[in-house]
Amino acid sequence: MSRAIKQGELLVPQVEVSLPTKVLALWPVILPMLFAVLIEVWRLEAGRTKFLYEGTLTMLALICYVTASVLLVTNLFVKEGVLYKLGLATVALGYCFNLSGWMMRWIEAGEKEGWKEGINGAWRYFPLDNLYALTLGFCAGAALATLVIIRKPQYRFLGAMSLPILSAVLTLGIFLGNDIITLQPILDSYWRPIHVSIATVGYGVCLVSFGLAFAYLLKDGVRSEAIAIGSLLFGVLVYGWVGGKLEVALHQEYGLWLWSGDQPLEKMLGGERISMIRAVFPWVGWMMWVVLVVVLVALVLFVLDRLNNDEKARRWGWRFFRTAALVQGLVLLGVWYQFGNVNELLKDPVNHQAIFSERANHRFGNLLAEGQPGITEAQMVAASERWLRENASTLNVKVQSNPVELGSLVAVFVVLLLVAVFAWKRDDVVAAMPSLQTIDTLLYRSVSVAFPLLTMLLITGAVWANESWGRYWGWDSKEVGALVAWMAYAGFLHTRVAHGWRGRRSAYFALLGFALVIFTWLGVSFLLKGLHSYA
């Protein structure tokens, strides 16, 4: 018998509660679902209108989630019941829009194809055709899990931890673009909606467990500087990746890959070398360079503080940290502003060359001159300039040009801002949380829900793979990522049940598990080749 069971962790006191009372307590979960169903029925009856389409509903969901994040974070510092009630209602409204928008893709996909009969009839169009649809489901699952917990006032703190992350995930999803993809016939299986629906709920619960693990570390007294170091390392990782690809740190340039009309440029050129040319966003690269330098300085100062308990280094570290968060916000505003500015320049036959760097022209000219021996560098640049001049009217930049990159920049801002706010009001945040034992128990229960869902995810995925590809397991990158994430949560439960681990060690396991879930959800799809690249 394990120590965890001996300590009575699984024993729950029995309280007699009437059925009507139980149902009434679930109103934040039940009402959004009912309204989402009504919206779908309305859409079927009224047809497509300015309001009744997925893009509008998803944007409304994002607005609600961001608003709820502000309300619930503020409620940690300002103990007003009205803030909690408004936050809870706003999360419920966001979940309603999120769920109805996700289901709206079902109707839109069917109408796009004329409701052709597949293996499963209307289930052929279940809204899990690509990574965007999976992200909508992921966010809906996370909102549902959050609502189930924060509907009890004593657990309101969780909303302040999970809603900002949820907002960042949905923002990245919007960057992916909401095009409806017709899946390959080989993937048309009734296991598809089962498998991916389990993924959306399971990943959503994992997000909630991450919020609980972060809350536990704050409550348990982990130093704010240690958390700041982790967030700064995340910023360095993101900027190291962006700078390594686009030479931001060396040349102070930043830009996005070009599109031709509504399709990526590589389709127009018949290849996959879109990175050969990109539009430069004026002065944004300089600001990103400033962020990177400030982040590195703050990181060094916090490390010095940990080594020498240097109060002066700690104080200046936080000043640089807050500066990094501020400048990162300006970077995002600059990127947003330059979308319109650059697209206007692209249409200008005289000045459009100003947004293309000489290096980009050289690489692109090399591409255009491929197979022509003896061509000089000047001829390469001239060929590039001539092609751009002739095709400038068809070119543009969009958020879909590199959604993961833009999403990573948003994530850096969210992480830096949250850590700065929580460190600034650390005592108020900790006071608003329940006891360590309560948070630890909630974390254990959330992982106990997530783990069987991830297990079913692997099983149903294997069955679907056998039906579509003729094998249960092929060590595909997505399969391996899902397995590694499952092993992390298995480790959480094993060490807790068999060895009595709890507290910080369990919280670190939960953080690791969610990081692996994020990599499986997003990183594998964009960074690694595999059979799941269709998503």
What pLDDT does residue 13 have? 44
Asked if residues 409 and 291 have their Cβ atoms less than 8 Å apart, the reply is no
Q: What is the pTM of this model?
A: 0.86
What pLDDT does residue 263 have? 67
One-letter amino acid at 384 equals: S
How does pLDDT run across 430-462, given as a tens digit for each residue? 988 999 999 999 999 999 999 999 999 989 888
SS3 of residue 48 by DSSP: coil
Better-scored residue on pLDDT, 282 or 144: 144
Mean pLDDT of 321-325: 96
Place of tokens 């990127």: 335
Mean pLDDT of 281-289: 85
SS3 of residue 351 by DSSP: coil
Residue partners of 352: CB distance under 8 A and separation at least 6: 345, 346, 388, 389, 392
The domain spans of the chain are 1-220+435-535
- Among candidate residues 231, 205, 76, 212, the one with its CA nearest the CA of residue 140: 205
Place of tokens 């990158």: 477
Asked if residues 486 and 458 have their Cβ atoms less than 8 Å apart, the reply is yes
- Among candidate residues 153, 96, 104, 139, the one with its CA nearest the CA of residue 125: 104
DSSP state of 283: T
Q: Among the ranges 281-295, 379-393, 437-451, 517-531, which has the highest mean pLDDT value?
A: 437-451
How does pLDDT run across 459-507, given as a tens digit for each residue? 988 888 777 777 777 777 778 888 899 999 999 998 888 888 888 888 9
pLDDT for 3 beyond 90: no
Distance separating alpha carbons of residues 44 and 47, to the nearest angstrom: 6
Q: Indicate the pairing of strand 259-260 with strand 255-257.
A: unpaired
pLDDT for 242 beyond 60: yes
What pLDDT does residue 245 have? 56
CA 262 to chain centre: 24
Better-scored residue on pLDDT, 111 or 171: 171
Residue partners of 427: CB distance under 8 A and separation at least 6: none
Per the rule left: phi > 0, alpha: psi between -120 and 50, beta: everything else, 247 is left
SS3 of residue 396 by DSSP: strand
Instruction: State the angle between helix axes of 224-246 and 284-308 in degrees (0 to 180), rounded to the nearest 10.
Output: 140
**Average pLDDT of the chain to the nearest whole number:** 81
What pLDDT does residue 217 have? 93
One-letter amino acid at 15 equals: V
pLDDT for 241 beyond 80: no
Mean pLDDT of 189-212: 86
HSE at residue 291, side-chain half, CA atoms within 13 A, is: 32
Better-scored residue on pLDDT, 276 or 97: 97
Asked if residues 432 and 157 have their Cβ atoms less than 8 Å apart, the reply is yes
